[in-house]
């Protein structure tokens, strides 16, 4: 063979080897598929339905739908590229070691498109020691490619029972590694075991638990979460009073390097009538997250606090940027919270004003804070500061039933502190505002305060109410009413459509079209009744502003407390005849989010002014005359220190109604 022929022969062999190397895809097996379909085989291999290195969605979905009791996804040497997949009941899927199931790039355009989905399914097992399910987080965060969202999860379960997830790495989602939510009201995910799982580099959370019964999370790692709030390792966050967190256990888990908190429990939506919680976090560790353990409930009414138990046992919280333990709005009558043999190590070392353990009450708190036990807990802190602090935004919620023992280690010394009432009073002295009887709005009808005045349509309201917002709109029967609703985002993200409800003076409820997030949404209706119609808007975490060019509109709050964001200007309110004393309580949202406020009398004179309000301040006043109603006002301005973002205003002893003009103000009907 001459040199020329030898070269040609070698090139031919090289091309053949390359072709063979490229063609490693397992061949489909129609005969085996038929045996699975007929019930002769209970164990199947995904490749029998084919493998396409560019897109295996159809093959993998067909394999899942086949009815096989056990489905093996083989390591083909290349990722299984796929679009959204729906899981099936009564099936175990085993991902072989080295398998990668990769979200197909350029799809998942829906804001809730998840990689694996299951709704109202039962008996699902996903096992994959050494296998990875991953998405394209960096793509979903690119607004030029995708609409912003936080629900593109890797594993998405709704109202499922008997779920097992083991050994898998869940990475790079556009939402959570695992989401446990509801498909039907009152039906949690139940009997769920998540074991030996790593949730890495997810966009919103490593794991989100919305509603769960009999949940075990064991030997899991939750790390490197960042993208959109809350950015936690794990977040227990019910959305509705009907949801539950019962018999939920985390054991031997690590939450590390998350931009948000390591272990978050945001339980405000649960109330006293909700099913009591029972949660236990045992032998878990956190390293290098924002805060280590954050537990928040509701304390905005007499029946707000969820009951039950929340126990942290033998946990180690290390190197948190903020507090090692943070507990917020914990009414003493609510769930019992305990920290047993826990360690807080080097928390908030760069935040000298932040204690390793922080307790806080919001401006809406109505009950004393407490029912927390610290049993033999150790705090290692290089800074000379108190181990525990209480931040009271309510100006009236005292401390009760804080018990146990704290051991503080600093500079080679060890000090043991029994949490007695005397020590708590010394560490965290309590401020107490004057208690003023709440104005009861039930069965109260409202009417114009100045009926002869004509509101100036050119003076538009700019007030932004955050989260659930209420407004009063006055109209007479037969009148055509027009108004607009403006939804604006808070921070990063695009507002979702917000439900709007109209409640007539008689109580008749009408669901209106959702308010959109791309400008003002216009509404109109013909009033069937004379009186104040209540508008209720639910803009999720964003803000609502309501304006009408035809009728009076006022800011309203059934609870008496109004949550503003970025709002300045003068707002008027009514002091009824016979009022002996009233108050306006104003508070910022934290040390950086503050407000300047001035209380003004009916003549426009400033009665009291307070700058840079962070913790609650109570403006006390007496009307000039108790025989006639009066219009007072509250002037809101930018603070000298801090910024105008979230703040709260509560009208005490007077109707919870604000107006941006005197002419639009409503008062209780005579």
Lowest mean pLDDT among 211-215, 338-342, 490-494, 523-527: 490-494
Average pLDDT over residues 431-457: 88
Has residue 19 got a pLDDT over 50? no
Question: pLDDT category, 95, cuts 50, 70, 90?
Answer: very high
Q: How far is CA 665 from CA 450, 545, 649, in A?
A: 7, 16, 17
Average pLDDT over residues 146-150: 94
Has residue 13 got a pLDDT over 50? no
Has residue 492 got a pLDDT over 80? no
Structure-block tokens of residue 204: 């919103």
Question: pLDDT category, 307, cuts 50, 70, 90?
Answer: very high
Has residue 5 got a pLDDT over 60? no
Q: What is the pLDDT of residue 549?
A: 83
Q: What is the pLDDT of residue 286?
A: 98
Provide the pairing of β-strand 369-380 with 343-345: parallel
Handedness of CA 31, 37, 42, 47 (dihedral sign): positive
Lowest mean pLDDT among 50-64, 309-323, 423-437: 423-437
Q: Could you tell me the CATH superfamily of domain 50-240+251-260? A: Single-stranded right-handed beta-helix, Pectin lyase-like (2.160.20.10)
Which three-class secondary structure state does DSSP give residue 5? helix
Structure-block tokens of residue 484: 């607009």
Average pLDDT over residues 208-225: 98
360 close to 327: Cβ distance less than 8 angstroms: yes
Has residue 11 got a pLDDT over 50? no
Question: pLDDT category, 142, cuts 50, 70, 90?
Answer: very high
Question: Which residues lie below 8 Å from residue 386, measured CB to CB, with a gap of 6+?
Answer: 355, 427
Q: What is the pLDDT of residue 24?
A: 58
Q: What is the pLDDT of residue 10?
A: 40
**What is the secondary structure of 154-184 as a DSSP string?**
SEEEES-EEEEEES-EEES-BSEEEEEE-SS
pLDDT digits (tens, 9 = 90+) for 252-301: 999 999 999 999 999 999 999 999 999 999 999 999 999 999 999 998 87
DSSP state of 20: H
Average pLDDT over residues 140-149: 94
Average pLDDT over residues 509-537: 93
Whole-number CA gyration radius for the chain: 30
pLDDT digits (tens, 9 = 90+) for 103-130: 999 999 999 999 999 999 999 999 999 9
Has residue 132 got a pLDDT over 90? yes
Question: pLDDT category, 8, cuts 50, 70, 90?
Answer: very low
Place of tokens 């429990």: 265
Give the domain ranges of the chain: 50-240+251-260, 261-432, 446-668
Mean pLDDT over each residue of the chain, to the nearest integer: 92
Has residue 20 got a pLDDT over 80? no
Phi, psi of 606 (to 5 degrees): -75, 120
């Amino acid at each position: 063979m001459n040199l020329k022929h030898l070269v040609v022969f070698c090139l031919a062999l090289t091309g053949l080897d390359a072709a063979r190397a490229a063609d490693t895809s397992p061949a489909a097996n129609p005969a085996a598929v038929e045996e699975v379909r007929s019930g002769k085989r209970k164990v199947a291999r995904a490749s029998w339905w084919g493998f396409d290195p560019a897109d295996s969605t159809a093959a993998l979905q067909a394999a899942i739908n086949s009815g096989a009791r056990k489905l093996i996804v083989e390591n083909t040497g290349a990722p299984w590229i796929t679009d959204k997949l729906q899981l099936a009941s009564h099936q175990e899927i085993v991902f072989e070691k080295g398998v990668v199931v990769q979200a197909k790039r350029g799809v998942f355009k829906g804001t809730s498109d998840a990689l694996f989905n299951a709704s109202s399914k039962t008996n699902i097992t996903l096992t994959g020691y050494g296998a990875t399910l991953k998405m394209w987080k960096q793509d979903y965060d690119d607004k030029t490619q995708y609409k912003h969202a936080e629900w593109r999860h890797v594993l998405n379960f709704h109202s499922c029972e008997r779920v097992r997830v083991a050994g898998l790495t869940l990475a790079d989602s556009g939402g959570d590694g695992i989401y446990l939510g509801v498909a039907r009201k009152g039906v949690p995910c139940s009997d769920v075991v998540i074991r030996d799982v790593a949730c890495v580099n997810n966009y919103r959370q490593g794991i989100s638990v919305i509603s769960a019964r009999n949940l075990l999370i064991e030997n899991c790692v939750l790390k490197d979460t960042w993208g959109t709030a809350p950015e936690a390792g794990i977040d227990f966050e019910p959305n509705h009073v009907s949801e539950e967190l019962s018999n939920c256990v985390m054991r031997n888990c690590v939450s590390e390097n998350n931009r948000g908190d390591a272990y978050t429990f945001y339980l405000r939506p649960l109330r006293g009538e909700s099913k009591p919680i029972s949660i236990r976090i045992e032998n878990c560790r956190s390293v290098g997250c924002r805060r280590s353990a954050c537990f928040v409930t509701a304390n905005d009414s007499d029946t707000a606090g969820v009951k039950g138990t929340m126990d942290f046992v033998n946990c180690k919280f290390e190197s948190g940027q903020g507090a090692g333990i943070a507990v917020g709005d914990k009414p003493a009558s609510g769930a019992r919270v305990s920290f047993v043999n826990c360690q807080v190590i080097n928390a908030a070392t760069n935040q000298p004003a932040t204690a390793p353990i922080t307790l806080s009450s919001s401006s809406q708190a109505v009950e004393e804070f407490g029912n927390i036990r610290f049993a033999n807990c150790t705090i290692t802190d290089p800074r000379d500061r108190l181990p525990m602090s209480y931040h009271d935004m309510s100006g009236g919620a005292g401390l009760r039933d804080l018990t146990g023992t704290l051991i503080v280690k600093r500079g080679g010394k060890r000090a043991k502190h029994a949490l007695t009432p005397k020590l708590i009073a010394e560490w965290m002295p309590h401020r107490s505002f004057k208690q003023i009887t709440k104005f009861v709005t039930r069965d109260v009808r409202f009417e114009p305060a100045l009926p002869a005045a004509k509101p100036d349509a050119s003076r538009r309201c700019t007030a932004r109410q955050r989260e659930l917002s209420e407004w009063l709109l006055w109209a007479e029967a037969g009148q055509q009413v027009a108004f607009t609703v403006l939804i604006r985002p808070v921070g990063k993200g695009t507002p979702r459509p917000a439900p709007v409800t109209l409640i007539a003076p008689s109580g008749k409820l009408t669901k209106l079209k959702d308010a959109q997030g791309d400008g003002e949404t216009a509404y109109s209706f013909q009033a069937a009744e004379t009186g104040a119609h209540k508008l209720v808007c639910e803009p999720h975490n964003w803000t609502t502003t309501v304006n009408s060019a035809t009728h009076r509109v006022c800011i309203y709050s059934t609870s008496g407390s109004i949550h503003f964001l970025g709002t300045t200007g003068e707002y008027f309110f009514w002091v009824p005849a016979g009022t002996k004393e009233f108050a306006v309580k104003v508070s910022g949202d934290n040390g950086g989010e503050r407000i300047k406020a001035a209380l003004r009398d009916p003549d426009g004179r400033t009665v009291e002014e307070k700058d840079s309000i962070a913790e609650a301040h109570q403006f006390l006043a007496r009307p000039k005359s108790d025989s006639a109603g009066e219009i007072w006002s509250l002037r809101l301005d930018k603070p000298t220190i801090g910024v105008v973002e979230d703040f709260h205003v509560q009208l005490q002893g007077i109707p919870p109604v604000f107006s941006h003009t005197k002419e639009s103000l409503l008062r209780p009907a005579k």
